[in-house]
Structure 1
């Protein structure tokens, strides 16, 4: 059977943002593919139902955010008009979509009023002059992916569906979060930080505003940093941090006595969903509150208080509920993502479905076969879960990807995840294609969830705060020692790579040991001192994440020890880990005559390996494979750096 190739990136289709029809019989969703000819990512809207072949609703090329009207007669979605996303309405009884908004700087996803007559949305607000001087009085003057904000803020608007008449609800020097309608349609709730020093002290509260405009009313006080709010029936549900913005996101309900935590019985992080961080917003399925949380490497779906309803080897990355039915997207070891439908009410006391490891009675027929269509006959290697032991006795979960027919020790690539509070899962992610390609060429790929990773409890999640590199080096090196001892890995053919925090680790580990024969930091951090003043999250990093002696945690402080041939891959427009981090590491290694190469990707933000130009994403994968094969042969002796 054929194995995956790097050019298969142009064939893989990724589903996202499932939205159940109000009748709960079908689901609209987004399908994203990489178009080779235009060198752009193409997104279209599709509709699927059990037993029916999925059909395309829109032709793209950049359609997104489908949202059903309450009566299911139309579907609102975003489509660019003159380069700006605008809300469109697609009638489901036939006809072409009509443009609903003409927002000067573009509109955000639709939030329908309960009666279906109005749509609320968030949108950038302000005067955008890209040639004007950029004046900053606050650290909030840029954001990764958006670049320099130039005084723009995000505010709430309401548009009348029948007439297109639009009114602005909020204004001022703050950013309004995504709105949620009250059940009577009179008010909208949203999160915002209106404190003058919010760039220095992290805060965010829940506000409500009249649907016709007016002064927002603050509903919460200090104590919880609110990151999202939803009116679910008569309940106002809030997600946020209890105290400083470290540790787990939790769920709260706002009552007469303020915010009260929703008890889940889980020492797990609630996942609301973001690029690279799968999950979904909390919602009601019938009378049940459902939410996503990380468990080990997986993101699973739970019913409150803490009953798992979609588990097993699945990473859930989008959920929609209507009554007792849900639609969700999940990746598995065999697929980068499929759309599933499940009934949460039928036969609760019955036998569990064999299709989805979940609570008894939950069935989840698969409504799409995207990976089967995109990669016909392609056989994927399956990561195997392992538990390793760190030097201090801490268990560390990892995943070993290799051709299990091999019997001799071979080259091993350690791949470190980002965050540092992200996590690896043993599923096919459609991004790190080089994993599969290397395994087919005789490599072992080791992915680890060291302390600091999500999914293993809050104490583990916070165990590397103020101790980047210092706390987790053994978590990376001990598993390699174990695989060497088992005859899986050749100690003379080891390499390290990773992105973001993984890029930091790919700089840090070669300062601690000379055992790696090649290193490939991507989107890296090399000097925490300079990053604290140049990253869009630099103050947060210095104050909460790397508090204390940030120089001691910086690879640059130990660069004199590095001899490992290094390939540095970095987005040109990265504001999270600015490209200067790559430049500093490149210059420091070059001055010491360490073999080094710097590759910069024009226009690439920090997330370009997820959503950047397809040609850049293919190139990123290709260069990793080429650099590894330049310095480490599958058989024989590694090339000497000298």
Structure 2
């Protein structure tokens, strides 16, 4: 039975006996005992239940120095309600003539909480990772000796007062750099927004929240732990916020730093070298027009490389390679046709990197002296949770987590010669059940009004006939990109396709993978050329007979939420819209968000600026599209008030509108059972206004 039939069957009354002939189930407050809920819950149970108690995905790959073992963060589900936990696993890698298929990974960590980001000591005898086993959410360092039997132990006897976000071994294994975040700092949008855990249980419920400028302690700081003396000391200066860091020779660290800890301050960062002896900073690269990411120094520390990006979430940046001489600070940009997302030094002269070119993941070897760029391997699949995150092998080659629309995540090895070998698959009965319902995927492209080629991924339902009801899905960012991922990046993409909808994951100008000029095309023109790119994609699919012009929908989160609202003020072609975590007014976004984006014209207080002229709220009178907004109450990237303002304005102008706010969600709806509820409302909304069974 289809969801349409289920909804029609209960349209006489909702779960509380209220008549609801005239509105979709999406508008009912409590739908947990509806037939639609049961079918959506059954869908996700069939997908995920076979992996309960088993590994279902991996990230944070770390190859041992001798190349014989791979440590990684593994995802383990126990139930839909609890979601996946993370634990550290180790798997033996094939060596020489050994070709053992799918070796058995061994758990290196246990317990009720989470463990992640394993990293080997230079001698390969110690594995250190992050764990919140002492107190949920408060990650600290734990270590495990590979030559001893037993459970991991705390690396530092007294937990640091904060949350350890990252760490780095020195080249000789004598010390570890530690990145410590103060309690209560904001998380990035890609991490779900909201704040890091706050452990102040002494605060009374009536105690007010006070906002002012930050204090010297409310930052991300850099610490040094000496493994011989067991002493831990702060390296960064008070008030300086350390975003990213790495060793730079034995006596220095290199770091991306700013004077403020807020998410919007990331672009204000400089690249500095910090003396580990006296904590003095030396600026290597002043703050500039672009973002810096992935700082890493050559083994001797004589050169520092980083990624220079037009913009995006600070945890999800890609762009060109910049190499800096540590003594002279001379900068050299190394051109390639790939937007680089990861960097790793192979030796003093050579970088191993990986990034995006169009819809393809590409691995490169880059000589920083000759600027020679050699392509090692490429695939149309994703090689990480979003952008490529490989782990280099000693002597050449690398490991990746590969996934695609029809490929459940798997760990594979790529040899120096470019041969790919799967070593560990996470395929299960849930994936085998889902795959026949996903239909076909196609890489598509079309020309925008100015002739610029735009790309995307088109997912077609397995049943039904052309033209299909089609949903345009817009990614966040805007500096981001859709790549070929299992279930279409967000699980609700696969869910909607399984219900009979075609979905277009589009990459308009501003997306990554097409070079700096393409990404730069959205700066100062948000809602301009990018909106045209998206609408031309619909024109192309309608004219080619794929999409039904009378059954077009739009959905997206964050920047995609903005576009889902903005496009309906430009055209009345959409039958339904679902903005998720949207921006409805850029001026209010500037005043209330922790991002403070500068992708417009940087005149937020000027009523004639793009902050006003590219806001859906200003042109709400032109919208005729039924709009369902889904928001998280603790979202600090696009605060839920944005959606509330737009909802009221839509109602004032006689437009069908509904807003659903989830009390424990942040930037996007990510956790069960909220995700089940959101999918019920999504399919109910689309099915009511643009049904599959027309």
- TM-score, normalized by length of structure 1? 0.85
Distance 2:131 2:408 in 1: 25
- Who is 2:383 aligned against? 316
Indicate whether 1:25 and 2:80 are aligned.
Answer: no
| 1:226/1:460 CA distance change after superposition, 3 Å | closer
Alpha-carbon offset, residue 511 of structure 1: 1.0
For the pair 1:105 / 2:148, whether they are aligned, the reply is no
RMSD: 3.2
Residue pairs, 1:606-621, within 5 angstroms: 606=667, 608-609=668-669, 612-621=670-679
Task: After superposing the two structures, state which structure 1 stretch, 501-510 or 222-231, moved more.
Answer: 222-231
Partner of 2:613: 552
Residues 11 and 297 (structure 1 numbering): CA distance in 2 closer, same or farther, change over 3 Å? Answer: farther
**Contact 2:299–2:345 under 8 Å retained in 1:** no
Deviations 1:427-454 (A, max 9, x none): 3256422332333333211121112211
Supply the distance in 2 between the matched residues of 1:225 and 1:628 (Cα, whole angstroms). Answer: 38
1:330 aligned partner:
402
Q: Distance in 2 between the 1:98 and 1:158 partners?
A: 19
**Structure 2 equivalent of residue 561 of structure 1:** 622
| Residue 363 of structure 1, CA deviation | 2.1
Return the offset for 1:520: 0.4
Which among 153, 160, 179 is matched to residue 226 of structure 2? Answer: 160
* Distance in 2 between residues matched to 1:55 and 1:165, nearest whole Å: 32
Match of 1:441 among 491, 496, 499: 499
TM-aligned CA deviation for residue 307 of structure 1 = 2.5
Given candidates 55, 61, 79, the residue that maps to 2:106 is 55
**Residues 493-537 of structure 1: per-residue CA shift (max 9 Å, x gap):** 111111111111110111112221111000101111111111112
| Residue 316 to residue 310, structure 1, CA distance change in 2 (3 Å) | farther
* CA displacement at 1:386 relative to structure 2: 1.4
Pick which of 391-400 and 286-295 moved more. Answer: 286-295
Moved more, 572-581 or 425-434: 425-434
Q: Is the Cα contact below 8 Å between 1:248 and 1:458 reproduced in 2?
A: no
Tell me the distance in 2 between the aligned counterparts of 1:619 and 1:164.
49
Note the residue ranges of structure 2 that are not aligned, 5 or more in a row.
Answer: 1-39, 95-99, 185-197, 367-371
Partner of 2:584: 526
Identify if the C-alpha distance between structure 1 residues 563 and 164 changes in structure 2 by more than 3 Å, giving closer, same or farther: same
The match for 1:86 among 125, 133, 140 is 140
Change in CA separation of 1:602 and 1:228 when aligned onto 2, cut-off 3 Å: same
Aligned counterparts of 1:158 and 1:384: Cα–Cα separation in 2: 49
What secondary structure is seen at the aligned counterpart in 1 of 2:470?
strand
Correspondence for 2:89 among 38, 46, 55: 46
Deviations 1:515-573 (A, max 9, x none): 21111000101111111111112253555699942211101111012221111011111
CA distance in 1, matches of 2:217, 2:679: 37
Report how many residues are paired: 596
Q: Which residue of 2 aligns with 1:391?
A: 449
- Distance, in Å, in 1 between the alignment partners of 2:309 and 2:530 is 26
Deviations 1:206-228 (CA, angstroms, capped at 9, x unpaired):
32333345323333346576434
106, 111, 114: which one aligns with 2:171:
114
- Tell me which residue corresponds to 1:451: 509
Displacement of 1:289: 1.0
- C-alpha separation in 1, matches of 2:330 and 2:110: 44
Alignment partner of 1:175 is 2:235: no
Contact 2:310 2:519 in 1 (8 A): no
Match in the other structure for 1:264: 335
Distance 1:283 1:469, change over 3 A: same
Counterpart residue number, 1:591: 652
Contact 2:360–2:483 (CA<8 Å) still a contact in 1? yes
**Aligned-partner SS, 1:583:** helix
Describe the shift of the 1:262–1:336 C-alpha distance in structure 2 as closer, same or farther (beyond 3 A): farther
> Who is 1:300 aligned against?
362
* TM-score normalized with structure 2 length: 0.79
- Displacement of 1:122 after TM fit? 0.9
Tell me the secondary structure at the aligned position of residue 291 of structure 1: strand
Q: Which range is displaced more, 434-443 or 66-75?
A: 434-443
Distance 1:624 1:283, change over 3 A: farther
Tell me the residue number matched to 1:363: 419
- Describe how 1:562-577 pairs up with structure 2 within 5 A: 562-577=623-638
TM-superposed deviation, 1:11:
5.4
**What is the alpha-carbon distance in structure 2 between the residues aligned to residue 242 and residue 420 of structure 1?**
13
Partners of 1:372 and 1:41 in 2: CA distance = 16
Specify whether residues 441 and 41 from structure 1 end up closer, same or farther in structure 2 by C-alpha distance, changes over 3 A only: closer
- Hey, what does 2:557 align to over in structure 1? 499
